[in-house]
C-alpha cells in the first residue's frame, strides 16, 4: 500500500507539471487545445480571453491531482501527530514546508531558464524583413520571420488601447491596414499594425509609412480592441492578423515567462530559507 501511495504521489506531481508545461506551450505557440478554444470563442463572441483560455482549463485538468496531494499531506500530518507526538509532527511539517517551497522555487527557476533558452531559437528581429504578399494570408502557416507588407492605413479602423495588468501597463495603437490590392473601404479588416507607445499615451493620429515591417500574429487583437471595434460597427475578418512592429515581438512572451518564473522562484526559495532559519532559532532557544 505504501508503494502504491508513493507511485500515486509521483504520478500526481508529474501530471501537474505536464499540464502546466502543455498549456504554457499551447498559449505561447497558439496551438493545440488553446487554439481550438480561442477560435471557438472568436466564432461565438468575436474575441477571446487570452489568460483565462489557458489558466482555467489548466486548473480544471490539474484539480484532481492537486486535491489528492492535499489529502495525502493532511493524512501524513495526522499520522505523524498520532504516532510521534505534536512536537515531532510540527517539526516534520516545517521540514516539508521548507522542502516544498525550495522545490517549487527550483522548478519555477528551471521553467524560467527553459523559457529563456527557448527564446534563443526564436527570431529576434535583427534579420532584414522579407517582402510578403498579404493575399497569401489564410492560405497556409504565417511566416515566423519578420516580413514587409505594403499598403495604407485605414484611420477609421484604428483604435488606441491602454491595458493595465497587475503592475504593468501596455499602451498601443492598432491601426487597420489595407494591403495593396485590398483597399476596399467597408470590407472586413483582416490586418492591423500594432505600434506600442511605451509610457506615452497612445493616439491614432500617427503617421504610417506605406511599407510596414514586423511579425505576423494570427488573431492577435486584444479583447479590449475587439470590443471597441464591435461597438463602432467595424467588421473584422476571421481570422484576422496583427503585424507587431516591435523587433522583440517574437521573444517578448518568452522573456515575460522567464522573468515571472525567475521572480517566483526567488521568492519561494527566500521563503524556504526564512522558514528554515526560524526553525533553527526556535530549536536553539528550546
**Which pLDDT tens digit goes with each residue over 35-81?**
788 778 777 776 667 778 888 888 898 888 888 877 877 776 666 66
Residue 262, domain extent = 2-122+255-285
CA–CA separation, 259 and 112 (whole Å): 7
Q: Are residues 178 and 201 both part of a single domain?
A: yes
Between these two residues, 235 and 42, which has the higher pLDDT value?
A: 235
49 vs 19, more confident? 19
The alpha-helical segments, DSSP class H, found in 85-146 are 86-119
Across residues 218-243, what is the average pLDDT?
85
Predicted confidence at residue 209, as pLDDT, reads 78
Percent of the chain at pLDDT above 90?
Answer: 0
pLDDT of residue 231: 86
Between residues 148 and 207, the one the model is more confident about? 148
Check the CA dihedral 231-236-240-243 and report its sign.
Answer: negative
pLDDT bin (cut points 50, 70, 90) of residue 1 is very low
Percent of the chain surpassing pLDDT 70: 76
21 & 114 share domain? yes
CA distance 63 to 58: 8
Same-domain status, 138 and 241: yes
Task: Tell me what pLDDT residue 87 has.
Answer: 62
Pair (116, 148) in one structural domain: no
Task: Give me the number of domains the chain comprises.
Answer: 2
My answer on whether 148 and 60 are in the same domain is no
Residue 248, phi then psi, degrees to nearest 5: -100, 20
For residues 206 and 275, state if they share a domain.
no
Same domain flag for 117 and 140 = no
Asked whether the beta carbons of 100 and 108 are under 8 A apart, the reply is no
Cα 253 from Cα 6, distance rounded (Å): 36
Q: Please tell me the predicted confidence (pLDDT) of residue 286.
A: 55
DSSP for residue 78: H
Shared domain for 101 and 139, answered yes or no, is no
Q: Are residues 227 and 134 in the same domain?
A: yes
Q: What is the mean pLDDT of residues 141-164?
A: 81
- Cα gap 204→4, rounded to integer Å: 62
Q: Model pTM?
A: 0.57
Contact yes or no for 1/47 (Cβ under 8 A): no
Coil vs helix vs strand at 227: helix
pLDDT at position 257, please?
76
Evaluate whether 191 touches 243 at the Cβ level (below 8 Å).
Answer: yes
The DSSP code for 128 is P
Statement to judge: residues 17 and 115 lie in one domain: yes
- Same domain, yes or no: 100 and 25: yes
**Residue predicted with more confidence, 27 or 199:** 27
Cβ atoms within 10 Å of 268's Cβ, excluding its own = 20
The answer on 266 and 236 residing in a single domain is: no
Q: Determine the Cα angle at 199 with ends 195 and 204, to 5°.
A: 40
Amino acid at each position: 500500500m505504501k508503494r502504491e501511495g508513493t507511485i500515486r504521489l509521483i504520478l500526481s506531481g508529474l501530471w501537474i507539471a505536464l499540464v502546466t508545461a502543455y498549456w504554457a506551450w499551447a498559449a505561447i505557440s497558439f496551438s493545440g487545445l488553446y487554439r481550438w478554444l480561442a477560435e471557438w470563442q472568436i466564432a461565438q463572441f468575436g474575441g477571446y480571453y487570452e489568460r483565462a483560455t489557458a489558466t482555467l482549463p489548466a486548473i480544471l485538468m490539474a484539480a484532481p491531482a492537486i486535491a489528492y496531494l492535499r489529502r495525502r499531506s493532511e493524512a501524513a500530518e495526522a499520522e505523524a501527530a498520532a504516532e510521534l507526538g505534536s512536537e515531532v509532527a510540527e517539526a516534520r511539517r516545517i521540514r516539508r514546508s521548507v522542502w516544498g517551497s525550495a522545490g517549487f522555487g527550483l522548478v519555477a527557476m528551471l521553467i524560467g531558464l527553459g523559457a529563456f533558452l527557448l527564446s534563443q531559437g526564436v527570431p529576434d528581429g535583427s534579420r532584414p524583413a522579407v517582402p510578403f504578399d498579404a493575399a497569401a494570408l489564410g492560405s497556409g502557416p504565417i511566416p515566423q520571420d519578420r516580413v514587409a507588407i505594403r499598403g495604407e492605413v485605414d484611420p477609421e479602423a484604428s483604435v488606441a488601447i491602454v491595458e493595465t495588468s497587475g503592475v504593468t501597463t501596455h499602451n498601443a495603437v492598432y491601426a487597420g491596414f489595407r494591403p495593396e490590392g485590398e483597399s476596399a473601404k467597408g470590407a472586413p479588416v483582416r490586418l492591423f499594425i500594432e505600434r506600442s507607445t511605451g509610457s506615452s499615451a497612445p493616439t491614432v493620429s500617427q503617421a504610417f509609412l506605406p511599407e510596414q515591417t514586423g511579425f505576423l500574429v494570427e488573431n492577435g487583437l486584444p479583447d479590449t480592441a475587439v470590443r471597441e471595434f464591435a461597438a463602432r460597427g467595424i467588421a473584422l475578418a476571421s481570422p484576422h492578423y496583427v503585424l507587431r512592429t516591435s523587433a522583440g515581438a517574437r521573444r517578448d512572451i518568452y522573456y515575460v515567462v522567464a522573468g515571472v518564473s525567475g521572480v517566483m522562484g526567488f521568492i519561494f526559495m527566500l521563503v524556504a530559507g526564512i522558514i528554515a532559519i526560524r526553525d533553527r532559532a526556535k530549536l536553539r532557544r528550546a
